[in-house]
Amino acid sequence: MKKLLMICGMLFCVITFAHAQGGNRNGTPEERATKSTAQLTEKLTLTADQQTKIHDILLDQNTQMNKARAAAGDDRKAVRTKMMTLMQGNNEKIKAILTDDQKKAYATFLEERRTAMKNRMGGQGTGQPAENQ
């Protein structure tokens, strides 16, 4: 009986550890929208009204992205196309909310994200290897 309890306990620990390491790494659409809104608030000094509007845009985007992933299954190209379309449309919606100074900072922020993504992807699509950091 002790052995059975020990095995069950160890199995529970392994499952918990595995879930903590890889289970839904990015969080729910609400969590991702909140995190992104906080990041934009820090970078762009958003007002409370801007934060609310941007959070709503990002929440809708994240929800639609989850649906696109589920609908496309293993077709990564279709998912990528859908996500790029969503992101471009939402970037325009976000820009419409921002002041001129914030728009400049937002453009810089997006460029930093693109550069970071290229570096994480190992320079794929650029024809050049990623810089080692």
Threshold 0.85, pTM exceeds: no
Q: What is the mean pLDDT of each run of 10 residues along the chain (133 residues)?
A: 70 61 69 95 95 96 90 84 92 96 95 90 55 40
Closest to 35 measured CA to CA, from 60, 13, 55: 55
* Confidence at residue 123, expressed as pLDDT on a 0 to 100 scale: 60
Pair 50, 97: CB distance under 8 Å:
yes
d(CA 52, CA 76): 31
